[in-house]
Structures are given as C-alpha cells and as structure tokens.
Amino acid sequence: MKTFDKEAILPLGRQVIAIEANAVHALQSRIDDTFADACQLCLDCLGRIVVTGMGKSGHVASKIAATLASTGSPAFFVHPGEASHGDLGMITGRDVVLAISNSGETGEIVTILPLIKRLAVPLITMTGRPESTLATTADVNLDVSVSEEACPLNLAPTASTTATLAMGDALAVALLQARGFTEEDFARSHPGGTLGRRLLLHMRDLMHTGDQIPVVRPDTPLGEGLLEMTRKGLGLTTVLDDDGFIQGVFTDGDLRRALDTGLDIRNTLMRDVMTPHGKTVSPEILAAEAVHLMETHKITSLLATDDADRLVGVLHIHDLLRAGVM
C-alpha cells in the first residue's frame, strides 16, 4: 500500500481550493453587458437552449443544461461528436446554442459551426480564449479564462471547469430571476424529491379527516377520551362542542401531566384536563409550513379548520415523516 506525506498533501489540497476560489472570484468583473446580452438571447429564445461540449467541458455542459432546465429555461445537452452524425437534427431554428470549450478550438464543435450558422440560430460560447475560433464566431462569448489550473502540472481541467460551472450557474440564476421563476415552479420540475414534496404538498393532502379524527365532548369522562385516543391512534383527541367548534385538545403530554396530579380518570371530565382550543391552521398551508409550526411551537399535531372555524382535519408529525417532508 502506498503511503504519502500528510504534511505535504494538506497544503496542496488547500492550494487547490484557493486557486479555484480565485478563478471564480475573477469572473465577477466579467458579469457585464456581454453577460446581459447572453441572457437576452436566452430570454428571446422561442425554443430551447441547446448546450454542447466535449470531454470535461461536455460534463460541465450537461450539468449546465440540467440546471437551466430545472430553473425555468428549457434546455438539453447534445454531444458534439454525435451532432455531426445525425443529432444536429435536434436543433431547430427556434433554439439557442450554448457551446463550451476551454480552448475554443475543440474539433468536434468547430466542425459543426458552419451547420449551426446555416440554421441561423444564436450562438453563445463559453471559452478560455477570447481570440479562438469559437469565441470569434459566436454572437456572444462569455470569458471563462483562468490564470492557472489547480493541477500541479497545469494540465488537467480543474480551475477552468469550476469557473465554467460558476458562469453557467450565474446564467441560469439570472434567467430564473428574469422569468419570475418561483418556488412552486421549481417544485413542479422536482416532484420526486424531498424539496418537491415540501413545496407541493399541502396540509389537506396529508391530514386525517372525517371518522379518522378523534373527537369527544367537553363533558366526556377522561376514561372515554383515552379510549378514543387509542382507537384513532394519533396520540390526541380533539374536544368539540355540539356545533363542531374546537373547545380544546388533549394529547399524550396532557395525560402525563394529569396523571402526575393523581386525579381520578373515571370522575374527571375532558374540559378539566384539555388544553384550550389548540393550535389551528388552514388546510391550505404547505406541508413545509406545518413542519415549521410544529418545530416552532414544539408540538406534534396541528388542527385544520375551515373558514367558519370548524374542525376539518388533524395532521400528526408522523404523517409528515411518512410523506418524506421531514
């Protein structure tokens, strides 16, 4: 097994981070009118943003395309090698092409440049050489050049790919803002993830309703209230009047506190041990907001009421866990 000098490795790791951080920081001065022009071309696009790149730049291009698509700018990746063997047909006259090449001379991309120009689609490039073929052919070139790579040999794409990723993120976020893209829009493109569930699910989608809600009256004996809690399995029971308005709530915590006083379960009424009213919300609140309320108030359940303040549902923290919201 190979060994290494820890004292030499750690400074090298820190140096890599410093070089890449400096490369990203240098981009700030290049967020100028040229960057705004690139954003405008994307905003004016009636089709999709077609992102292409080869090698490491191809991996970066694929990620940028995914970020654009998930933040409101329809985009997809086309491999430049495959483009010259049929995939160029994926590009239409309504699209914008974003080509990425650190050298600006990548053969596979330069080969398809005349075909892109023949389609008369706007061409945005990200290159490290403003004088390169790609940069000078483009309608807009975004300069992602770096003073040095983080690789000790100054060969492996490291700082340059990081800078390109950052410029891609800057473009995607600027377009997101310009399009008025919202959290709800983001959730609709991420329905399968935790974030999507937090932003799409409402309390009404998860809460218990109808006969699933534990209900007793204020004059119900505590013993019967405990049976209702056991039957419904939510760790609580609501206390309602005859018109369905909430008078209080009785939870496992209330039970423990009541038992500490030595009261007689059979001769105690719910009104004497319940917590008055309880925490109520609209069933339309987001599940994420329900999580926040439970954490803030250190409770495990919320009561949902309608516009007339009548109980319509109960949400338990376990419902949120099962839905993957927490």
Q: Which residues contact 152 (CB under 8 A, 6 or more apart)?
A: 12
Q: How many CA atoms lie within 13 A of 323 on its CB side?
A: 27
Where do runs of H (alpha helix) occur along 90-202? 107-118, 133-137, 159-179, 183-188, 194-200
Give the model's pLDDT for residue 4. 72
Give the model's pLDDT for residue 257. 86
> How far is residue 122's CA from residue 116's CA, in Å, rounded to a whole number?
9
Q: What percent of the chain is modeled with pLDDT above 70?
A: 95
Confidence of residue 187 (pLDDT cuts 50, 70, 90): low
Nearest CA among 100, 47, 97 for reference residue 73: 47
The mean pLDDT of 9-33, rounded to a whole number, is 95
Give the model's pLDDT for residue 154. 85
Q: List, for residues 127-182, the tens digit of each pLDDT value.
A: 999 999 999 999 999 999 999 999 988 889 999 999 999 999 999 999 999 999 87
Question: 183-214: b or e for each residue (b if 16 or more CB lie within 10 Å)?
Answer: eebbbeebeeeeebbbbbbbbbebbbeeeebb
Q: What is the mean pLDDT of the chain?
A: 91
Confidence of residue 315 (pLDDT cuts 50, 70, 90): very high
Q: What percent of the chain is modeled with pLDDT above 90?
A: 68
Residue 237 token pair: 């029971």
What does R_g of the chain's alpha carbons equal in angstroms?
A: 30
Q: Which domains are seen in the chain, by residue range?
A: 6-181 (3.40.50.10490), 203-322 (3.10.580.10)
Give the model's pLDDT for residue 239. 95
The mean pLDDT of 22-37, rounded to a whole number, is 97
Give the model's pLDDT for residue 250. 94
Three-state DSSP class for residue 49: strand
Give the model's pLDDT for residue 182. 79
Report the phi/psi class of residue 235: left, alpha or beta, with left for phi > 0 and alpha for psi in -120 to 50: left
Confidence of residue 86 (pLDDT cuts 50, 70, 90): confident
* Least confident window among 90-104, 173-187, 279-293: 173-187
